[in-house]
Amino acid sequence: MSFLNYLINGLSLGSVYAIIALGYTMVYGIAKMLNFAHGDIIMVGSYLVYSSMTMAGLHPVLSILIAVIGCMVLGVVTERVAYRPLRGASSSLAVLITAIGVSYLLQNLSLLIFGADPKAFTSVITWKGITLFDGALQIRGTAIVTILVGLVVLFGLQAFIRHTKSGQAMLAVAQDKGAATLCGIDVNRTIAITFAIGSSLAAVAGVLFCSTYPTITPYIGAMPGIKAFVAAVFGGIGSIPGAMIGGLTLGVIEILSRTYISSQLSDAIVFAILIVVLLVRPTGLLGKRVMEKV
Amino acid sequence: MLKTIGKKYGFYIVIVLFWLLMTLLGNAGMLTSHFSSLLVPMTYYAIAAVALNLCVGILGELSIGHAGFMCIGAFSGAIFSLLTKEVLPGGLRFFLAFVVGIAFAALFGFLIGIPVLRLKGDYLAIVTLAFGEIIKNVLQAVYLGVDAQGVHLSLDMTTFRMEPDGLTLIKGAQGVSGTPRNSSFTVGIIVLLLTLFLVHHLMDSRDGRAIMAIRDNRIAAEATGIHVTRYKMLAFTISAAIAGAAGVLFSHNVTTMTNISNYFNYNASIMLLVYVVLGGIGNINGSVIAAMILYLLPELMRGLNRYRMLIYAIVLILMMLVNWAPGVQERRRRLKAFLKTRLTRAGKEA
């Protein structure tokens, strides 16, 4: 029964990874860039909720809304200021290093504003959860809510991409930027929308993550960010269901290895998986092999 | 003749002069002890920056785990020195510690390279980042020692039992202690000069040209018969090996390595990247100068320390935008052309 409990905790953590990985994979698929700062948007989202809820005493729903909108604006602004000027640069290193710079900037700005000491985050989910089998199985409310939110985000995103004009434009830009421009698609606008969606998802992930692990420091975003990238590669980068499957798998593996192998080495195990995936199947579970044109 | 010698060896001469100046000032007692203590770290950060520039600037692949290779070199070199402390004379032992540290770092570089360098895209960045974290986590969790019964390796302090005469090598989060203090400014400068010689020589060689051809256009390079993966592996392994040498200097300078996450974390790798970017990507000598200046500046001006990281971040972003953004490049080209016509017109009128 305790195994089942760990499994559910794993799925809950995995849902958080999946939501982050969705943002990663969308940006990578459409803008063809690795947004290192994506993880730090999570951190910004958590601090926004913390300051509006715990410090300013606003209603939880209102503070989540503030965090989502704040991160959305942040994502679009960083794209406009730091990444867009480098589109079409002769070296792909340039935008990668800029993204690292943005990530570093966000971390150190929050370090200056909020200080290095961890802040206690009050969970926005007050529901205690359900107890099954006469108390043998206790499922925390946060876990249930996290998994449900993950599913809603997945299906919402799928529907958005399939059934809206902006979503179709995203698919077109992901396939061929030049041809999309010729069809009258505003590539810059489409990429900005991608960043907006990805960053607001990161804010949601931040709230869920901090509801489960309730301490915030300026560095909390980095690790989940990297693990979400591993999840995106695992599921096949650029694929939305792949990001979901990758995230869930990774969450379960992390919790189980933390429980049954070693708590100190669980991160190492997750990264070892990345290396194995790259060795065996570099395109990931659901990724497509793309022929390279000269 | 003199000009080519100056071009080729001028920078080595500058470094030797710098060494001479610092040594003379040190012997005359004109350097504060704080400043002298910065000289050795300055050399190993310069070496590590050269290593990273080989990877980023010459090979064209971003690594953000080079602190991890430094860590490997530091630990393997330190453990070798601890094991042979009583057996070997100091000089030979330190030399062999370098060999061991470099070999281990190169081995890890090779192993990391296998899954990643076959792929195109930005995977190396994330895998090296992951690797740096793995190394840090594992080395902080591990207990290693030798005694009469053999080698003991454990992840748990409670099960780690040693004979009283045993030698504890890695003590979990307390790390390695008792490494002999062999590093000196002179040794650091010698290793730096050797590194520079090696990297410049590599760049001028057939292998180096192949590596740079891959950086400039992978497909074209492949079409001319260059074995892409092999040359990428070569460059990356050498880069890791050099970072390992910097690590050996590190561990034989601080002697006690506790809390390694303070030295070999993500921030350390980013700091190296800042040295490389500021010195000029692909400009080996530039990395040395940038590393030396950037290392000394904040140390000498402690007041800046609070904002140092923030400044680094802004420097990274601005340098990239100014040097690489197509829009900015176009504007710079136009400004140049404008100034040129103005100057020639002014010249004609005068």
What DSSP line would sit under B274-334, residue for residue?
A: HHHHHH-TT-HHHHHHHHHHHHHHHHH-GGGHHHHHHHHHHHHHHHHHHHH-HHHHHHHHH
> How far does B79 lie from chain A, in Å, by closest CA?
22
Residue B224 forms contact with A (CB below 8 Å): no
Distances (CA, A) of A93 to A290, B60, B251, B325: 21, 7, 31, 12
Domain ranges of chain B: 32-300, 305-350
In this predicted structure, what is the pLDDT of residue B178?
78
pLDDT for B350 equals 65
- Does the distance separating the beta carbons of B56 and A93 come in below 8 Å? yes
Nearest to A278 among B116, B309, B328 (CB): B116
Which residues on chain B are in Cβ contact (under 8 Å) with A268? Answer: 133-134, 137-138
Contacts of A90 (CB under 8 A, 6+ apart): B324
pLDDT at position B346:
77
The confidence score (pLDDT) of residue A185 equals 92
For residue B307, which residues of chain A lie inside 8 Å, CB to CB? 112
> Which helix (DSSP H) or strand (DSSP E) does residue A130 occupy?
strand A129-132
Q: Could you please report the per-residue DSSP string of A185-209?
A: --HHHHHHHHHHHHHHHHHHHHHHH
Which residues does chain B have within 8 Å of residue A282's beta carbon, measured at their own beta carbons? 118-119, 123
Report chain B residues whose CB lies below 8 A from the CB of A35: none
Count CB neighbours of A138 within 10 A: 15
- Where exactly are the structural domains of chain A? 11-225
Give the pLDDT of residue A290. 62
Which of B56, B134, B307 is the closest to A268 by Cβ? B134
pLDDT of the residue at A289? 64
Dihedral angle of Cα A42, A45, A50, A53, to the nearest 10 degrees: -140
Q: Does B333 touch chain A (CB under 8 A)?
A: no
Query: Which among B112, B313, B321 is the nearest to A105, CB-wise?
Result: B313
Query: In chain B, which residue's Cα lies nearest the Cα of A276?
Result: B115
Helix, strand and coil percent figures for chain B, each rounded to 5: 75, 5, 20
Q: Give the start-end residues of each E strand in chain B.
A: 143-147, 150-154, 167-171
Helix runs in A32-91, H state only: 38-49, 60-78
The chain A residue lying nearest B223, using CA atoms, is: A294
pLDDT at B238 over 60: yes
Average the pLDDT over B264-276 and give the result. 85
Chain A residues in contact with B109 (beta carbon < 8 A)? none
Q: Do B317 and A112 touch (CB under 8 A)?
A: no
Mean pLDDT on B39-55: 93
Q: Residues B310, A105: contact at Cβ < 8 Å?
A: yes
Strands B150-154 and A137-140, sheet pairing:
unpaired
Question: Residues 254 to 283 of B: which have CB under 8 A from any A CB?
Answer: 266, 270, 273, 277, 281
Confidence of residue B102 (pLDDT cuts 50, 70, 90): very high
Where helices occur in A236-289 by DSSP H, the ranges are 240-260, 266-280
Number of H helices, E strands in chain A: 11, 4
CA angle A121, A123, A127 (to 5 degrees): 165
CB within 8 Å: B266 and A264? no
Which pLDDT does position B51 carry in this prediction? 95
On chain B, the residues whose CB falls within 8 A of the CB of A90 are 324
Distances (CA, A) of B160 to B145, B153, B315: 9, 7, 46
d(C-alpha B291, C-alpha B243), whole Å: 14
Q: Does pLDDT of B8 surpass 80?
A: no
Which site among B54, B229, B318, B324 would you substitute to test the A interface, given the most A Cβ atoms closer than 10 Å to its Cβ? B324
B 55-84: CB under 8 A from A: 56, 60, 62, 64
Closest-CA residue of A relative to B116 is: A278
| From A89, A104, A226, residue closest to B324, measured CB to CB | A89
Nearest CA in chain A to B276: A97
**H helix count then E strand count, chain B:** 13, 3
Q: What is the pLDDT of residue B121?
A: 67
Q: Report, as an integer, the average pLDDT of B136-160.
A: 77
Write out pLDDT tens, residues B239-263. 999 999 999 999 999 888 876 767 7
Q: Within an 8 Å CB–CB cutoff, is residue B141 touching chain A? A: yes
**Tokens matching residue B99:** 């060999």
Is B303 in CB contact (< 8 Å) with chain A?
A: no
Q: State the DSSP code for A86.
A: G
CB-CB under 8 Å, A109 with B320: no
User: B residues 154-183 near A, CB within 8 Å?
Assistant: 155
* Interface touch B324/A34, C-beta < 8 Å: no
What's the pLDDT tens digit per position in B277-288? Answer: 888 888 899 999
Q: Which residue has the higher pLDDT, B113 or A126?
A: B113
Specify the DSSP class assigned to residue A122.
P
CB within 8 Å: A104 and B316: yes
Residues 6+ apart with CB under 8 A from B174: B258
Q: What is the pLDDT of residues A6-15, one digit of tens each?
A: 888 899 999 9
Residue B285 CA, chain-centre distance (Å), reads 13
More reliable by pLDDT, A256 or B305: A256
Residue B49: the pLDDT is 95
Interaxial angle between packed helices B33-53 and B284-300, expressed in degrees from 0 to 180 and rounded to the nearest 10 = 150
Q: Does B114 touch chain A (CB under 8 A)?
A: yes
Architecture of domain B32-300: Orthogonal Bundle (1.10)
Buried b (16+ CB within 10 A) or exposed e, B122-133: bbbbbbbbbbbb
**Using CB atoms, which residue from B134, B309, B315 is nearest to A271?**
B134
A111 to chain B, closest Cα gap in Å: 10
Q: What pTM value is reported for the model?
A: 0.85
Query: Which residue shows structure tokens 């290593």?
Result: B51
> Which residues contact residue A294 at a Cβ distance below 8 angstroms, ignoring those fewer than 6 apart?
B219
B156 or A245: whose pLDDT is higher? A245
Q: Which of B59, B112, B122, B214 to mutate to test the interface with A (most CBs of A within 10 A)?
A: B122
Contacts of A92 in chain B (CB under 8 A): 122
Stretches where chain A sits below pLDDT 50 are none
CB atoms within 10 A of CB B182: 21
pLDDT of residue A294: 56
Q: Which two tokens stand for residue A59?
A: 């209603």
CB A215 within 8 A of CB A54: no
How far apart CA B181 and CA B16 sit, in angstroms, is 23
* Nearest residue in A to B215, CA atom: A91
Task: Give B281's contacts in chain A (Cβ within 8 Å).
Answer: 93
Whether residue B2 has pLDDT greater than 70:
no
